[in-house]
Amino acid sequence: MEKARFSRVGFILAAAGSAVGLGNIWKFPYMAGQNGGGAFVLIYLLTVVLIGLSIFIAEVYMGRTTREDGVTAFETLAARNGHIWKYAGFMVFTGVLILSFYTIVIGWIFKYIILSFSTLPISVGAAGKLFGAMVSGDWEGQFAFFNIAFFLTMWIVARGVKRGIERVNLILMPLLILILIFLFFYSMTYTGFEKSLTFLFYPEWDKLTQSSLLQAVGHAFFTLSLGMGTIMTYATSLPKGENIVKSSFYVAFIDTLIALVAGIIIFTFVFHFGEKPSQGPGLVFISLPALFHHMGVMGNVISLLFFVALAFAGITSAVSIVEPTALFFINRFKMARSKALIIIAVIVYILGTMAVLSNTKAYGAHFTYFGKGAFDLMDFVSAAILLPLGGMIIAIFVGFVIERDKVHATMSKYMSDRLFNLWYFSIRYIAPAAVMIVMINKLFF
Ligand code: TRP
């Protein structure tokens, strides 16, 4: 077992770095936009607090008490209660699947960083064509940028927990926050700002559909990096005596705040220039660049800052998606970190290449399975199935399989009995029930 430990800030920033990702700056705003704004935002906030946070604390608990990789953590804790539960830790391998498409999107962002130095597309239509041409036509370019994103991620993880992961987060997270603060104040000078606030914080309940509810629950998992042992793995490196409940609150708070701030910034520009908020996944890659075009040279600067922030958010998350599998290989097979990463790299490289090609016109048909391209399939299988399943397993495991007294003995150091009971009730009943409902709906309706 590696004995490296984060510093106190190091852990909070690393966990926040994992949580704050494409989910916050790309996914959350477009989901809020598609689901009518305020009401969705409120439901999302509620699910983060009621479901996300309690599973987050459960993951921290498991990592902190065992100080083992995810697979071993389940085996150790399930030892007496036995059998089937000891296999639950294999959820760490979900990371390989997520990483394969996540690094491709980071690659797109790198391309848009470069684009920020040239003339931005003059209209949303032109921006849409540009984005479409990249995704469906230019596999070589995408492949090149995917490589950069991927090797960068691997290089950081190869340097280890302290010199790689902690250091990168200590640098990139404050920079990311600074950029967002600047963009936030800059957006305040636009008249769209007020409309943006109204859109995001004034709930119009009739706009809420059943599907928005499900999306909000699903996103609560994704945005907090839950359901595959990422938080568990980071928690193995917690410094001694750390108040794990407080740290979890901080991370969830930072994560939520950044999603909201990103949303406010993006919708300020969207409303200022009279665009629709409901553009969908293209909101950041299609609507924004065209809007930035209207700002002249300043638009190029804002575009650059925005995509750099997005890239930082993405890289600190990508790193956290690799680490659980890496730590498992290192622990279990006494492998050198570099060797573990080479094995992971080979798999991600193959899957990533398939994902890139699956979006192209020329090769898409060869990489389509069950009616979905490899890229969409990896996204769907991991985000809609494996992560919620993993989260539910963690909740049930801590809630029912481990003895209550054992959990209480550890957690009562950080929680009042009232809070403990609330948390325990959530992981036993609320979280599993919510996940079950989401999954059944996503899979069958
Ligand atoms: N939370 C990140 C985001 O919002 C993504 C992420 C990082 C993640 N690590 C994870 C998602 C582990 C699920 C599991 O973009």
pLDDT at 120 over 70: yes
Candidates 1.10.720, 2.60.40, 1.20.1740, 1.25.40; correct CATH number of 8-444?
1.20.1740
Q: Which of 320, 322, 325, 382 is the best mutation target for the ligand 1 pocket, counting ligand atoms within 8 Å of the beta carbon and taking the most?
A: 320
Contacts of 84 (CB under 8 A, 6+ apart): none
Q: Which of 219, 230, 386, 389 is the best mutation target for the ligand 1 pocket, counting ligand atoms within 8 Å of the beta carbon and taking the most?
A: 230
21 lines ligand 1 (CB under 6 A): yes
382 lines ligand 1 (CB under 6 A): no
Q: What are 361-414's pLDDT values in tens digits?
A: 888 888 888 888 899 899 888 888 899 899 999 999 999 999 999 999 999 999
Measured between alpha carbons, how far is 219 from 256 in angstroms, rounded to an integer?
A: 11
3-state DSSP assignment of residue 51: helix
322 lines ligand 1 (CB under 6 A): no
* Residue 372 host element (H or E): strand 372-373
Which of 21-35, 76-90, 271-285, 336-350 has the weakest average pLDDT? 76-90
**Beta carbons within 10 angstroms of residue 239's beta carbon:** 13
Q: What is the pLDDT of residue 422?
A: 96
3-state DSSP assignment of residue 300: helix
Question: What is the CA(321)–ligand 1 centre distance, in A?
Answer: 7
pLDDT at 42 over 60: yes
Q: What is the pLDDT of residue 3?
A: 65
Q: Which residue has the tokens 């193995």?
A: 236
pLDDT band of 216, cuts 50, 70, 90: confident
Q: What are 326-357's pLDDT values in tens digits?
A: 999 999 999 999 999 999 999 999 999 999 99
Q: What is the pLDDT of residue 218?
A: 82
Question: What is the CA(18)–ligand 1 centre distance, in A?
Answer: 6
72 lines ligand 1 (CB under 6 A): no
Q: What is the pLDDT of residue 366?
A: 84
Average pLDDT of the chain to the nearest whole number:
93
Q: Write the burial class of residue 372 (CB in 10 Å: 0-12 exposed, 13-18 middle, 19+ buried).
A: middle
321 lines ligand 1 (CB under 6 A): yes
Q: What is the pLDDT of residue 1?
A: 47
Question: What is the CA(294)–ligand 1 centre distance, in A?
Answer: 33
Measured between alpha carbons, how far is 190 from 204 in angstroms, rounded to an integer?
A: 24
Pairing status of strand 368-369 against strand 372-373: antiparallel
24 lines ligand 1 (CB under 6 A): yes
pLDDT at 277 over 60: yes
Q: What are 233-265's pLDDT values in tens digits?
A: 999 999 988 899 999 999 999 999 999 999 999
pLDDT at 53 over 80: yes
pLDDT at 324 over 90: yes
Q: Are 374 and 382 in contact (CB under 8 A)?
A: no
Q: Phi and psi for 216 in degrees, rounded to 5?
A: -65, -45
Measured between alpha carbons, how far is 333 from 323 in angstroms, rounded to an integer?
A: 15
If one compares 362 and 166, the residue with the highest pLDDT of the two is: 166
**Beta carbons within 10 angstroms of residue 365's beta carbon:** 10
Q: Which atom of ligand 1 is nearest to the CA of 313?
A: 15
If one compares 79 and 22, the residue with the highest pLDDT of the two is: 22
pLDDT at 443 over 80: no
Q: Which atom of ligand 1 is nearest to the CA of 230?
A: 12
Domain boundaries, the chain: 8-444
387 lines ligand 1 (CB under 6 A): yes
Measured between alpha carbons, how far is 340 from 359 in angstroms, rounded to an integer?
A: 29
Q: Which atom of ligand 1 is nearest to the CA of 24?
A: 4
Which of 22-26, 170-174, 209-213, 236-240 has the weakest average pLDDT? 209-213
Question: What is the CA(173)–ligand 1 centre distance, in A?
Answer: 15
Q: What is the pLDDT of residue 82?
A: 62
Counting residues of the chain whose pLDDT is more than 90, the rounded percentage is: 80
91 lines ligand 1 (CB under 6 A): no
Q: Which atom of ligand 1 is nearest to the CA of 22?
A: 15
Q: Which of 28, 53, 55, 98 is the best mutation target for the ligand 1 pocket, counting ligand atoms within 8 Å of the beta carbon and taking the most?
A: 98
User: For the whole model, what pTM was predicted?
Assistant: 0.94
